[in-house]
């Protein structure tokens, strides 16, 4: 199990040091979610670093404590229980992925601790759950790929193959694809799930090819997106359009698949070309600092984590107490009522007492695609929605 601390040198601050605000979260540093979860962790660490450069929260230095949940919901729930029991933890941020977040919320909701969940998209985590302490940052799953279906149908697609991991977030994506296919008159020729970590990528691609799908929508998380991209090339299968959930949204995708990334699409909540501004920085500054630290562009997982640090800092500073202590109920009330912006984009959730309390209601997904940059390389472009698009889509045939 990994324990890491950012914002100061020691896990426990000596008594002669200034008072700190300690924020804790788990990050999947091992297990099946490490690629995107690692980016989330980098976003958290950069957010705390830059927050301290501007004076911390209310003049107090901020310390970030992270522990490795192994990509396992039960482990994450146990670790958050330990955070809550610790006298040294003041506030919490969420873990990576919908299943882990849902397990953690069972602990934090019961304990009455506010929690910002930056990386959970499935609406079922909030809808009709009576959430009172937890808020969602990402756009909701069912709406994320509707734009991909609209673009494909607009350019001649008539059939769709839908292949997805059998877990809450990918299943919520699939729900939205089915609805969008009906809206735009596409016939679903294949609708198939696969177990977590158990995809037969070659076999599923062969089934989609045999079904004659013009639009291939597949995957759930990053590793499957890479594997499906390679399987499509190996099968010499070129549907009109391919959307691989969130995989090609990651700026490192072309590094892993090379020129096969060309014309691959994905849903993204944010990309570096989008201009946003939050409590700590604007998006241009965030991108510059991330590049300096890591030598690559951030994706929306890093932006969401950075934005969660911004949102938590804003909430704490907006709800001061006479004693200078954090007021959990006041922070919670602020998170459920405020309309604001972070580096990730606009933030606003359904209010307390409503059927979707805590669920995100204002952030909209982008459809992004890797296209020629005019110099022999690839660049990420926005192709939907029309109001945000900076390029026309490219197609595989």
Q: Which domains does the chain have, with CATH numbers?
A: 3-139+273-347 (3.40.50.2300), 142-268+365-384 (3.40.50.2300)
Q: 107-110 long-range contacts, Cβ below 8 Å, gap at least 24?
A: 107/77, 107/80, 107/81, 108/80, 108/84, 108/133, 108/134, 109/133, 109/134
pLDDT at 113: 98
Per DSSP, what are the bridge partners of residue 66?
4, 25
The token pair at 311 is 């949102």
Going by C-alpha positions, the residue among 302, 309, 241 that lies closest to residue 271 is: 302
Question: Which residues, including other chains, have CB under 8 Å from residue 260's CB and lie 6 or more apart?
Answer: 229, 230, 232, 233
Tell me phi and psi for residue 46, to 5 degrees. -65, -40
pLDDT at 17: 57
d(CA 61, CA 65): 13
Three-state SS string across the chain, please? Answer: CCEEEECCCCCCCCCCCCCEEEEEEEECCCCCCHHHHHHHHHHHHHHHHHHHHCCCECCEEEEEEEEECCCCHHHHHHHHHHHHHCCCCCEEECCECHHHHHHHHHHHHHHCCCEEECECCCHHHCCCCCCCCEEECCCCHHHCCHHHHHHHHHCCCCEEEEEEECCHHHHHHHHHHHHHHHHCCCEEEEEEEECCCCCCHHHHHHHHHHCCCCEEEEECCHHHHHHHHHHHHHCCCCCCEEECCCHHHCCCHHHHHHHHHCCCEEEECCCCCCCCECCCCEHHHHHHHHHHHHCCCCCHHHHHHHHHHHHHHHHHHHCCCCCCCCCHHHHHHHHHHCCEEECCEEECECCCCCCCCCCECCCCCEEEEEEECCCCCEEEEEEECCCCCCCCCCCCC
Per DSSP, what are the bridge partners of residue 369?
265, 381
pLDDT at 164: 96
pLDDT tens for each residue of the chain, 397 residues long: 334 444 443 344 444 556 899 999 999 999 988 988 999 999 999 999 999 999 999 999 999 999 999 999 999 999 999 999 999 999 999 999 999 999 999 999 999 999 999 999 988 999 999 999 999 999 998 999 999 999 999 999 999 999 999 998 899 999 999 999 999 999 999 999 999 989 999 999 999 999 999 999 998 889 999 999 999 999 999 999 999 998 999 998 999 999 999 999 999 999 999 999 999 999 999 999 999 999 999 999 999 999 999 999 999 999 998 877 899 999 999 999 999 999 999 999 999 999 999 999 999 999 999 999 999 999 999 999 999 999 999 999 9
pLDDT at 287: 98
Tell me phi and psi for residue 371, to 5 degrees. -135, 165
pLDDT at 8: 40
Q: Strands 3-6 and 61-68, how do they pair?
A: antiparallel
pLDDT at 18: 64
Tell me phi and psi for residue 42, to 5 degrees. -65, -35
Assess contact for 231 and 251: CB atoms under 8 A. no
């Amino acid at each position: 199990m990994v324990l890491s601390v950012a914002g100061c040198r020691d896990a426990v601050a000596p008594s002669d040091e200034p008072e700190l605000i300690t924020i804790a979260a788990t990050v999947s540093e091992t297990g099946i979610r490490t690629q995107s979860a690692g980016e989330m962790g980098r976003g958290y660490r950069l957010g705390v670093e830059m927050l301290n450069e501007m004076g911390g929260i209310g003049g107090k230095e901020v310390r970030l404590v992270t522990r490795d949940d192994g990509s396992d919901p039960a482990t994450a729930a146990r670790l958050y229980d330990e955070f809550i029991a610790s006298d040294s933890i003041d506030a919490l941020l969420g873990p990576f992925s919908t299943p882990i977040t849902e397990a953690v919320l069972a602990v934090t909701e019961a304990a009455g601790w506010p929690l910002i969940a930056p990386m959970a998209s499935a609406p079922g985590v909030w809808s009709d759950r009576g959430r009172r302490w937890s808020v969602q940052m990402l756009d909701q799953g069912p709406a994320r790929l509707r734009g991909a279906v609209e673009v494909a149908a607009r350019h001649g697609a008539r059939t769709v193959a839908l292949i997805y991991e059998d877990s809450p977030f990918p299943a919520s994506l699939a729900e939205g694809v089915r609805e969008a296919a009906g809206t735009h008159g596409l016939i679903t020729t294949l609708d198939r799930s696969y177990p977590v970590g158990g995809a037969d990528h070659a076999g599923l691609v062969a089934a989609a090819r045999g079904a004659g799908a013009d639009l291939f929508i597949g995957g759930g998380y990053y590793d499957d997106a890479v594997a499906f991209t390679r399987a499509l090339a190996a099968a010499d299968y070129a549907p009109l359009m391919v959307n691989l959930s969130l995989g090609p949204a990651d700026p490192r995708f072309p590094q892993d698949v090379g020129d096969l990334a060309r014309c691959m699409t994905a849903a993204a909540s944010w990309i570096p070309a989008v201009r946003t501004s939050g409590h700590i920085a604007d998006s241009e500054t965030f991108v510059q600092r991330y590049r300096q630290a890591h030598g690559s562009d951030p994706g929306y997982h890093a932006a969401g984590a950075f934005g969660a640090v911004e949102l938590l800092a804003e909430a704490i500073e907006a709800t001061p107490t006479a004693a200078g202590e954090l007021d959990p109920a006041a922070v919670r009330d602020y998170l459920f009522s405020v309309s604001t912006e972070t580096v990730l984009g606009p933030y606003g959730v359904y209010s307390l007492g409503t059927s979707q309390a805590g669920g995100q209601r204002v952030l909209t997904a982008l459809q992004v695609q890797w296209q020629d940059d005019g110099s022999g390389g690839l660049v990420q472009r926005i192709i939907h929605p029309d109001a945000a698009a900076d390029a026309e889509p490219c197609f595989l045939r």
